[in-house]
Structure 1
Amino acid sequence: MAAHVADNPAKSRFEVTSGDQGTELAGFAEYFLSEADGEIAFIHTEIDPKFGGQGLGGILAQAALDAARERGLAVLPYCPFIRGWIRKHPEYTNLVPENLRVKFEL
């Protein structure tokens, strides 16, 4: 199954699609974007149980964080899933402002 991640700014979330045609919504990572502050706050991530165990959460997290990096945005990982993913992939820790890493336990 092919997975695809895209930003859906109208819904303030990154969405991962999968399925036989790669078009079925499998999950999303909601965010609050503050362009003025140069920050993106991830607030909730959800994968449909139907797609559980396929690694789609990790694909979603990596794509969303890579997009934040490309845009030069600081990441505020309020979402426990995104925060946990960053802990497992320390090469993404530098996206979180240094003065906030203790707050997010990173």
Structure 2
Amino acid sequence: MGFIAPNCFTTGKVSKETDVYSFGIVTLEIASGRKPINPKAKQGEIILVEWIWDLYGKGELLAAADPKLSADFDEKQLRCLMVVGLWCAHPDHKFRPSIAMHFKC
């Protein structure tokens, strides 16, 4: 769990898509200032990617911004960073971008 793509647990295999998943988690970690798993967090916020997906669905993505930023950031850039992180960490590996797509962004 954490940086390991969920499909690694079911298939036992690693691939380019699992690397992309890990990149997405690192991206979300940077944007939020949180670890991928925090057992001390409130219910619903323990698993970082699930919490940020939930906020994204509610249209509250910036609520996950690292509090240390103190609102001193470009909202559009942070939102873009988080969306890229979510895209890379998509639960269905078929919807994750390729490594080549990262370099085009």
| TM-score (normalised: structure 1) | 0.27
| TM-score (normalised: structure 2) | 0.28
Higher relative CO (Cα under 8 Å, sequence separation at least 6) belongs to: 2
More strand by percentage: 1
More helix by percentage: 2
